[in-house]
Amino acid sequence: MAFFGFFSKKEKPPEHSSFATSIFHVLGFYPTNEDLYKDALVHRSVIRNRKELSNNERLEFLGDSVIDLVVAEWLMEQFKNEPEGVLTQLRAKIVNRKNLNDCSIKMGLDKLIKTDGKIKLRNTSIPGNCLEAVIGAVYLDVNLKKASEVIQKVILGHIDAEDLISNTTNFKSRLLEWSQQEKKQIEFVISEIFESEKKLFEVEVVIGGESISKAIGKNKKEASQKASKHAVESLSIS
């Protein structure tokens, strides 16, 4: 009976520090090596006169590379037909400082950052830098897979792939460049339409007298971009 009683006991959950609990609320798991995350969240202004302490710059360097790798792999999967130049532009847009700052603040990381108290975080690149450092800490503390999961959740999880490519690539310019190379006559036929009393624009791409694509947008530029994108995809223009 004592044997069965042993297995019926509830295991006491491990005790975690308040800092580890804070990391759990931000990242979704408890750290094994808390010191890595503490270093990741210390700005150099804190240790300006205390050389014995670590700051987050080395971890930031590592995390920057990990983010670049994971984002590059995600882009390769999302955009299988896009050339290297377009993928580079897309990655730059995802990992730009403003976007990383926004991600850091949304996940609540800014509340854990230590500075000298004189710096207003929202007017600096510190939140984004600390996010990179934390990713570096996750990589060292756990592994690349876990770091990738965090990046997918906090950076890539809020990105619409279609919006990203539409807002980054000038499909109309690419289409016009192709038409010049191929000596094709191209027209953009613009029409005004109304939906629920709302004025919209429809653009039709006509190449050599043949209708290739149509799209609707809130303005002429948006409709032209969408129609050009459909045409580029339809014609398999690289």
HSE (CB half, 13 Å, CA atoms) of 13? 4
- Rounded to 5 degrees, φ, ψ at 22 are -65, -40
Please say if 141 is a catalytic residue: no
Distance (Å, whole) CA 174 – CA 83? 12
Element containing residue 110 per DSSP (H, E) = none
Cα–Cα dist 29/179, whole Å:
53
| C-alpha span between 197 and 19 (Å, rounded) | 55
64 annotated active-site? yes
**Alpha-carbon distance values, 44 to 26, 61, 117, 122, 234 (Å):** 22, 14, 12, 17, 52
The catalytic position among 60, 110, 132, 141 is 132
Beta carbons of 187 and 214 less than 8 angstroms apart: no
Note the Cα 98 to chain centre separation in Å.
11
Task: Count Cα atoms within 13 angstroms, Cβ side, for 127.
Answer: 21
Tokens of 23: 């990391």
Q: CA-to-CA distance for 208 and 131, rounded, in angstroms? A: 51
Q: Looking at 39, 60, 64, 82, which residue is catalytic?
A: 64
Active site residues: 64, 132
